[in-house]
Amino acid sequence: MKTCSYSYRVFLLELVSVAGRLNISLSKNDVEELTANFEVLSEDFLFDEAFKVVQETHSRAVDSYFISAAKLTSSALVSCDKRMIENAKKFGVKAYYLPEELDKIIKIIKEFKDSQVKT
């Protein structure tokens, strides 16, 4: 069974940045290995929707890409960034704040995996 995670290219930079703040060094090869099962969406695909997100929610520009990626792929957004989650919900995206909704997120993932096994 293969599940798909979507992201966009800036996420790859964010991954290295956060790892660095945690004193973890990631090479480009490490990032490629960690994200091998991700579908990385192009800016061309996301930009127009991200523009709508910014107009409607006044979110941070970089957050608009995560929100638009979730919207365009009919995916849920999971983040530790409360403001991004609030803006995603404003824009009609299913969004979950990880520190407060971990149990709910795990339940959703298990239900998704179970439904994939049955098909």
pLDDT tens digit sequence for 40-74: 888 889 999 999 999 999 999 999 999 999 999 99
Q: Quick one: average pLDDT of 72-82?
A: 93
CA dist list (Å): 105 to 36, 39, 49, 98, 111: 22, 20, 25, 8, 10
Model pLDDT, residue 7: 75
Model pLDDT, residue 2: 46
What's this model's pTM, rounded to 2 decimal places?
A: 0.76
Q: Residue 68 and residue 53: Cα distance in Å, rounded? A: 7
